[in-house]
Amino acid sequence: DMIVLPDSSFLFATNTGLFKLDKYGTIISQNSNIKTISKLNIVDDGYLIGIAEDSLYKLDYAGNLVWVKYFQAQNILDVIYSPAGYYNASIYENNKAILLKLNKNGEILKTVQLSRKIQSLALCPDGGLIMAGDRFVQKTDSTGVIKYIKYVRPGGGEKINSSANTFIGWSSLNIDFVHVEISADGGNSWNNIIRYYPSPGSFNWSVPVINSDSCLIKVKDSYDFSISAVSDTFFSIKPYSQHEYISANEVLMWVGNNSVGSNDPQTGGNGFYWPGGINHTYQSAIFSDGLCWGGKINGETRVNGATYRTGLRPGNILQNGTAADPFDLKYRVYKIKKNWEYLPPSPERDKYEFNFLNWPAELGAPWIDNNDDGIYSPGIDQPDYIGDEVLFYVANDLDTVTSRSTFGSDPIGLEFQTTIFAFEREDLMNVVFKKYKIINKGSNDLTDLYFGYWADNDLGDANDDYSGCDTLLNLCFSYNSNNNDGVYGTPPPAVGHMLLQTPRNLSSDNDSAYFDGKWVKGYKNISLSSNVVFIKNSPYYRDPQMTVYAGTIELYNYMQGKVWNGSNFIDPITGLVTKFILPGDPVAGIGWYDGVGWPGGPQAGDRRYIITAGPCSIAPMDTQEVVIAILINKGTDRLNSLSVLKQDAVYYRDLYYTNFPVSVDDQKSMLPDEFILYQNYPNPFNPSTKIKFTLPSPSQGEGPGVRSITLKIYDILGREITTLINKELAPGNYEVEFNASSLASGVYFYRLEAGSFIQTKKMVLLR
**Residue predicted with more confidence, 593 or 3:** 593
In whole angstroms, what is the distance from residue 492 CA to residue 480 CA? 7
pLDDT in tens, 310-361: 999 999 999 999 999 998 889 999 999 998 988 888 888 888 999 999 999 9
In whole angstroms, what is the distance from residue 99 CA to residue 111 CA? 6
Residues near 206 by beta carbon (within 8 Å), at least 6 away in sequence? 163, 164, 165, 347
Predicted confidence (pLDDT) at residue 710 exceeds the cutoff of 70? yes
Strands (E), 298-443: 300-305, 313-314, 334-337, 367-368, 382-383, 389-396, 414-422, 431-440
Quote the distance between the C-alpha of residue 297 and its chain's center.
37
**Contact present, 694 and 711 (Cβ < 8 Å):** no
Q: How much is the average pLDDT of 608-617?
A: 96
Predicted confidence (pLDDT) at residue 201 exceeds the cutoff of 80? no
**Contact present, 404 and 548 (Cβ < 8 Å):** no
Report pLDDT for 701: 43
The band of 45, judged by pLDDT with boundaries at 50, 70 and 90, is low
Report pLDDT for 667: 45
Q: Is the pTM of this model over 0.75?
A: no
In whole angstroms, what is the distance from residue 76 CA to residue 74 CA? 7
Predicted confidence (pLDDT) at residue 673 exceeds the cutoff of 70? no
pLDDT in tens, 717-737: 889 999 999 998 888 778 899
